[in-house]
Amino acid sequence: MINKQQAEHYSWGQNCDGWHLVRAERLSVIQERMPAHTSEVRHAHRQSRQFFFVLVGTALFELNGGQTILQPQDGIEVPPGAPHQIRNESDDTLEFLVISQPSSHGDRVFAE
């Protein structure tokens, strides 16, 4: 069994948190938390395909230049090579899952 309290924790960005629920070479499942008014840098992955799934809050998700609002229980798939960015422009905390196959560790390139 794995849960957020037992998972390996890391900090990123502007006081954001992540918990490795599954950390393997071929698969990564991470739960992340973004405080109000924070964002990830726009980037892409050379090989990883990702799926973002919102648990709590509202995400503004940019994918290939288009924008989508994700509410709780909404998800979005990001193919390899697609520039993307997740932002929390709300006044509330955002929590979501990021599932990557293969793992996205070391696979990120910055996008404009």
pLDDT tens per residue across span 1-24: 999 999 999 999 999 999 999 999
In a domain, 65, yes or no: yes
In a domain, 33, yes or no: yes
In a domain, 59, yes or no: yes
In a domain, 58, yes or no: yes
Structural domain harbouring 41: 18-74+82-89+96-110
Greatest extent of the chain over all pairs of C-alpha atoms, in Å: 39
CATH number at residue 64: 2.60.120.10
As for how many domains the chain has, the answer is 1
In a domain, 5, yes or no: no
In a domain, 42, yes or no: yes
pLDDT tens per residue across span 70-111: 999 999 999 999 999 999 999 999 999 999 999 988 888 887
Question: If we measure between CA atoms, which residue out of 47, 17, 13, 14 comes closest to residue 31?
Answer: 17
Supply the pTM of this predicted model.
0.94
In a domain, 35, yes or no: yes
* Whether the predicted pLDDT of 51 surpasses 80: yes
* Cα dist from 10 to 7, 33, 77, whole Å: 10, 11, 23
In a domain, 12, yes or no: no
